[in-house]
Structures are given as C-alpha cells and as structure tokens.
C-alpha cells in the first residue's frame, strides 16, 4: 500500500476512534521514503513565508527582553502557534514554550530556539532598532526564534508526512542564565530522543553551515575573588599589606576593582573572570587550580583571599558535545540541501552555549549557519552593539530545522504497538 493511502486510512480510522492519535505510523519502503519531500529550502524561500519570518524577527528585535523576562516574546510565539493550529504547553522556566507537530506519538525529536537579548545599547541605526534603552538582540536570538517558527509553518503544512512528533523548544535565558537546564528540570524534553540547535555565524558565508562531531564549544564558568590586606596611606606603604600587589600576581582576569583614591592603599580588591575547557575533567581541574593559585599567591604577599564560584547566579555550562550519529545525519541532510561544498568542518571554539545541558541528557547536535555576504558589508561578531543579522539566512535556518527533524523521524525505527492499541503520548 502506498504512503498516501496509509495516510488516508489512518485519518479514516481517527473518525471512528475515541482517542485522536494513532500510536505508530506504518513503515514505508525505501522507494516511498525517497519520494517524501524533506528538502524544504524552496518552500522556505517563498516570498510569503520569507516576509513573514522577517516580520517576526523585526518585532522581536524592536522589543528585546533579558533572560527569564521574555514575556512579550513568549506571548508573540504562542499567538503565532495559535494561528498555525499548533498545540503547545506553557510556561516552562518562566517564559518557555514547547510546541508539538505530528502524530503526538514516538519518536519525538526537538528543534530549539533561544529567546533572550543582551544588556547592550544598540549602535546600529536602522528602521527597526531596539526601542528599549540598554537592551539589544546582539546575538541573533531574534533570528533563531523566527527560524524555528518558520520551520513550524513548514512542518505544519507537511504534518501528515511526519512519522512521529517534532517538538518546538523556545527557551529563555541562554545568555548566562542556564535556561536550558531549567527547561529540562521542568520536563520540557520528556520523551524527546534527540535535539537540534543552531547559531547564526558572521564568520561563514550565507548558504554554508559549519560544525563537527564531538566537543564543539567549551564548558564555562565564572569566578570572583576578594583579596584582603591592610590599607593605609600610599606615602607609607611599608605600614600596609597591599592587596593590589597580591592581586597583580594573578594574570588574565577580566575584572579588577580596588581603591577609590590616588593616595590610599585599599583594604581589599576584587578580581574576577571566566574559565573554560573542552572536557569535564579539565574544567574541574581548572576550577581547583584557580582557587589554589589565587589563595597561595595572596598568602605570599601576607593577604587573605576568598574565591567565589556563584553557580546559582551564573550556572556553569557543560561542554557542548555533538553526538556522532547525529553528525552523520546532519552531514546527509545539509549535503543534500546545500551541497557538500557548503558543509564545513570546524575546530572547537572557546565560546559556550547552554544547549550543552540538553546534550548531557539526550543526543544533541549544534551547528553554525553562515550569514556573511561581502556585498552587504561586514557583519560583526555577537555581543557587539554593532551586531546585525543578514535576514537572507532565515529560509536556510527554517528549512534545515524542518528537514533535520523530518528525516530523523522518517529514518527512526518505529516500535510495533500491541494490536488494536491507541495511545496519546501528549
């Protein structure tokens, strides 16, 4: 029986069953599988869908919200999902939204977008500049949301071809707040077997993607240390215990605060910084070494030091590790869509991502989507007040999300349910 006939049969069955979801779609032959469209780029480039994604992205960009404060962004997402007829649950982690498209039954595969902005004043002068003083989408999360919503449009249009359920994850507080961890704690990924995420990249050309198997982004943490001595007049330093001298023996810190007068040696100084590594073991060793170096260097200068790792306020992010099997899956999908020449292997980066929390629980895959176009000038790196998004990438991100999820479901072996059993997994 052909795939389309199976679809018709299932929906006829739905009309006579008390529960709306058939627990497992029948398997299809390799010939039928090859005929099912999973390269959605042409669909995503249609003017109507492209303009809609651009509009969504600009609305979010004009009204940026910081981590766990994305209430209006969350409201906008839910309104668009309502318009599409996509079911969802809310809230997760204060503002997070999780949508569902497909059969409602296993397998479940997720695509993720982060929603939060940064505490920066935008310096790009354009029609849709941030209207909120001191806040800006300077890392492309507005584009990430619009691409997952674009993927939702595509998937909803092709929902009858899905052999499982695509889970749309809109999460808060990627920028230091560990929103992904809180989404997991709230059960946002229950039953999900794999998850995909992306980030816009000014370092790669539009139409190209970059990633790798294994460690991709570093584990990261923050530390602060208070070094205490004995203050006094700068004219008689021999009567003081100088904490600034002690702190100066600790190199490569990003924060150094101490003293408020030209002629007074302070009682204490505060230093701080970030530390990063590509393995859990190295990260733990680095944390221990930071505390050891600071306290012992302080003692050499007769000072005391207290080192603080505030994991509650600034959670440690694990290493972002790409699953080996999902990497092979990504190579196939990206190669078919963009051409193998636009499928780039990259070296690990010292940047960090809270997508890493998902990868500690289920197989995850994260990649970079190029947006560089020489004719449109230079695109700055993230966290710059001059950061811009090349909106021409929106169809690429939407299509990749939709294709990665759809083909994952098509190729995933389906469980055989007991005869006559029907169950709504949602």
Known binding positions for Mn(2+): 139, 141, 175, 199, 383
Task: Give the whole-angstrom CA distance, residue 90 versus residue 72.
Answer: 13
Contact 170, 91 (CB under 8 A): no
| Residue stretches of the annotated binding site | 139, 141, 175, 199, 383
Instruction: Please classify residue 379 by burial: count the beta carbons closer than 10 Å to its beta carbon, then call 0-12 exposed, 13-18 middle and 19+ buried.
Output: buried
Smallest CA-to-CA distance from 290 within 273, 303, 265 is with 273
- Under 8 Å CB-to-CB from 413, ≥6 apart: which residues? none
Q: For the chain, how many helices (H) and strands (E)?
A: 12, 16
Q: Give the H or E element holding residue 209.
A: strand 209-211
Contact 408, 109 (CB under 8 A): yes
Task: Give the whole-angstrom CA distance, residue 25 versus residue 6.
Answer: 8
- Under 8 Å CB-to-CB from 190, ≥6 apart: which residues? none
Residue 327 has a CB neighbour count (10 Å cut-off) of 19
What are the DSSP E strand ranges found in 244-342? 255-258, 264-265, 268-277, 304-308, 320-322
Q: At what angle do helices 47-62 and 394-411 cross, to 10 degrees?
A: 110
Task: Give the whole-angstrom CA distance, residue 177 versus residue 168.
Answer: 20
Task: Give the whole-angstrom CA distance, residue 294 versus residue 292.
Answer: 6
Smallest CA-to-CA distance from 21 within 108, 81, 90 is with 108
Phi, psi at 379, each rounded to 5° = -105, 120
């Amino acid at each position: 029986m052909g795939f389309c006939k199976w679809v018709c049969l299932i929906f006829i069955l739905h009309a006579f069953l008390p529960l709306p979801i058939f627990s497992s779609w029948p398997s299809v032959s390799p010939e039928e599988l090859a005929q099912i469209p999973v390269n959605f780029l042409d669909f995503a480039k249609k003017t109507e869908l492209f303009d809609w994604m651009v509009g969504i992205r600009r609305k979010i960009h004009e009204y940026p919200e910081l981590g766990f404060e994305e209430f209006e962004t969350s409201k906008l997402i839910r309104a668009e999902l309502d318009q599409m007829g996509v079911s969802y649950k809310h809230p997760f982690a204060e503002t997070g939204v999780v949508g569902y498209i497909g059969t409602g039954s296993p397998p479940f595969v997720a695509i993720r977008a982060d929603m939060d902005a940064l505490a920066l004043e935008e310096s790009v002068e354009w029609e849709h500049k941030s209207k909120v003083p001191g806040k800006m989408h300077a890392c492309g999360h507005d584009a990430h949301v619009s691409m997952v919503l674009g993927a939702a449009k595509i998937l909803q249009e092709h929902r009858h071809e899905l052999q499982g359920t695509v889970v749309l994850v809109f999460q808060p507080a990627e920028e230091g707040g560990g929103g992904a961890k809180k989404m997991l704690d709230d059960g946002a990924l229950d039953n999900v077997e794999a998850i995909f995420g992306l980030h816009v990249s000014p370092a790669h050309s539009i139409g190209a993607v970059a990633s790798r198997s294994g460690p991709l982004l570093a584990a990261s943490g923050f530390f602060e240390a208070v070094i205490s001595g004995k203050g006094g007049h700068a004219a008689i330093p021999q009567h003081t215990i100088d904490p600034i001298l002690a702190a100066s023996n600790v190199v490569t810190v990003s924060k150094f605060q101490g003293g408020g007068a030209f002629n007074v040696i302070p009682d204490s100084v505060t230093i701080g910084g970030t530390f990063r590594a590509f393995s859990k073991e190295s990260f733990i060793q680095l944390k221990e070494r930071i505390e050891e170096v600071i306290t012992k260097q302080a003692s050499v200068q007769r000072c005391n030091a207290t080192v603080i790792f505030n994991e509650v306020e600034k959670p440690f992010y694990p290493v972002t590790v790409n699953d080996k099997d999902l990497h092979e899956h990504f190579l196939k999908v990206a190669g078919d869509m963009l051409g193998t020449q636009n499928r780039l292997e990259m070296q690990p980066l010292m940047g960090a991502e809270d997508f890493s929390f998902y990868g500690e629980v289920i197989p995850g895959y994260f990649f970079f989507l190029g947006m560089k176009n020489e004719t449109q000038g230079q695109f700055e790196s993230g966290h710059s007040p001059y950061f811009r998004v090349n909106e021409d990438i929106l169809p690429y991100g939407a299509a990749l999300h939709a294709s990665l999820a759809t083909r994952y479901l098509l190729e995933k072996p389906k469980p055989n349910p007991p005869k006559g059993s029907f169950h709504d997994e949602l």
